[in-house]
Amino acid sequence: MKKVKILVACGCGVNTSTLVCNEVKKICDREGIPAEIMHCSVPEIPINSKMVDIVCPANAYKKELNKPVLSLVEFVTGINKEKKEKILIEKLKELAEME
């Protein structure tokens, strides 16, 4: 299983992305998914996305990337968080199996 490189982003790349990073780290640890998690601001996504396997903005992100994008706004609002967590786990396990 390879280490999945995850980029979490929010408006300024500080508070919200740190909150979401912590949630993603807990999930990865619990599920046994090796992960490297970094965070940035939304405007920095295009540059930083080149170094990761998946981009997880803490808001809706509409621009095209050559990477999977999974919004984790539910981790901020708490609404439908469990459902999004399952989707995230499935996607991260899929990426961890890719070589």
Q: What does the domain layout of the chain look like in residue ranges?
A: 4-97
* Run means of pLDDT, 10 residues per run, the chain, 99 residues: 95 83 96 96 95 94 93 93 97 91
pLDDT digits (tens, 9 = 90+) for 37-60: 999 999 999 999 999 999 999 988
Q: Would you name the residues annotated as active-site residues?
A: 10
Do residues 72 and 54 lie in contact, with contact meaning Cβ atoms separated by under 8 Å? no
Regarding the domain delimited by 4-97, which CATH topology (the fold level of the hierarchy) does it fall under?
Rossmann fold (3.40.50)
pLDDT the model gives residue 93: 96
pLDDT the model gives residue 32: 97
- Could you write out the three-class secondary structure of the chain? CCCEEEEEEECCCCHHHHHHHHHHHHHHHHHCCCEEEEEEEHHHHHHHHHHCCEEEECCCCCCCCCCCECCCCHHHHCCCHHHHHHHHHHHHHHHHHCC
pLDDT the model gives residue 99: 64
Whole-angstrom Cα distance, residue 70 to residue 92? 11
